[in-house]
Amino acid sequence: MEKGKVYLVGAGPGDPDLLTVKAARLIGAADVIVHDGLVDDAVLALARTDACMISVAKQRSRHAVPQDGINAILVREALAGHAVVRLKGGDPFIFGRGGEEVEACRAAGVSVEVVPGISAAIAGGAETLLPLTHRDASSAVTFVAGQCKGLTDQNWAGLAGKGRTLVIYMGVATADDISEKLIADGLSPDTPVAVLERVGRSNARALRSILTDLGGMIARENVQSPAIIAVGDVVLKSDAEDKLRAFAKEAESLS
Residue type at 155?
N
CA proximity to 166, closest of 190, 188, 189, 194 = 194
Between CA 227 and CA 214 the distance in angstroms is 13
> Is residue 249 annotated as a catalytic residue, yes or no?
no
Between CA 177 and CA 184 the distance in angstroms is 10
CA proximity to 204, closest of 94, 125, 96, 92 = 125
Strands (E), the chain: 5-10, 32-35, 52-55, 58-59, 62-63, 83-88, 111-115, 138-145, 163-169, 192-197, 205-210, 227-231, 241-242
Q: List the catalytic residue out of 36, 40, 185, 233.
A: 36
Buried b (16+ CB within 10 A) or exposed e, 211-224: bbbbbbbbeebebe
Calculate the dihedral angle through the C-alpha atoms of 79, 85, 87, 92, rounding to the nearest 10 degrees: 80
> Is residue 58 annotated as a catalytic residue, yes or no?
yes
Between CA 176 and CA 216 the distance in angstroms is 8
Q: How crowded is residue 188: how many other Cβ atoms within 10 Å of its Cβ?
A: 14
The radius of gyration of the chain from alpha carbons, rounded to an integer in Å, stands at 20
Q: List the catalytic residue out of 5, 40, 58, 233.
A: 58
Q: What positions carry a catalytic annotation?
A: 36, 58
